[in-house]
Amino acid sequence: MSYPLLAFLALTVLGLATGAQAADNCDANQASMNECAGKAFRKADDDLNQYYKAQMGYLKTPANKAALKDAQRKWLAFRDADCLYRNGKPADGGSIWPMLDLQCKTELTRQRAAQLKTYTECRDETSGCRQ
């Protein structure tokens, strides 16, 4: 192996380790705060999708599936519009805007995931749950 290739590989590994370390330090700078906010949002979104898919798999009629799909699409539009209302436009927010937007979306996504979770836990028709 040639020295330049070895040096390149060593710097790449060092750079990845340093980048991973900086990404775990959410207070290092605005970029790291934005990255951490993105990780929190992806986790909340994964949870939301898990409960949505579980409920969709449980629903028996095409009409109920279409109703949930429609509600979810409208909820996503609401979430995004509400966060835009709260935080303003990206061009007006500076470098902190992505973090604020992601924090807002994370908060609302967690709330929606909790709603969907209650649907997945509501399987007894005598309890008054809407299927």
* Greater model confidence, 7 or 31: 31
Domain CATH code at residue 72:
1.20.1270.180
Assigned domain for 2 exists: no
Neighbours of 128 (CB within 10 A): 7
**Total-model pTM:** 0.75
**Domain assignment present for 6:** no
What's the average model confidence in pLDDT over 56-65?
Answer: 95
- Cα–Cα distances (Å) from 21 to 25, 39, 80, 87, 109, in that order, read 7, 14, 31, 29, 27
Domain that holds residue 90: 26-123
Digit-coded pLDDT (tens) for 70-128: 999 999 999 999 999 999 999 988 889 999 999 999 999 999 999 999 999 887 665 55
Residue 130 covered by a domain: no
**CA dihedral defined by 100, 102, 107, 111, rounded to 10 degrees?**
150
Q: What is the pLDDT of residue 16?
A: 42
Per-residue HEC secondary structure of 12-39 comes to HHHHHHHHHHHHHCCCCCHHHHHHHHHH
Q: How many angstroms separate the first and last alpha carbons of the chain?
A: 63
Query: In the predicted model, is pLDDT for residue 46 greater than 80?
Result: yes
Residue at 43 is within a domain: yes
Q: How many domains does the chain have?
A: 1
Question: Hunting for tokens 């604020």 — which residue is that?
Answer: 100
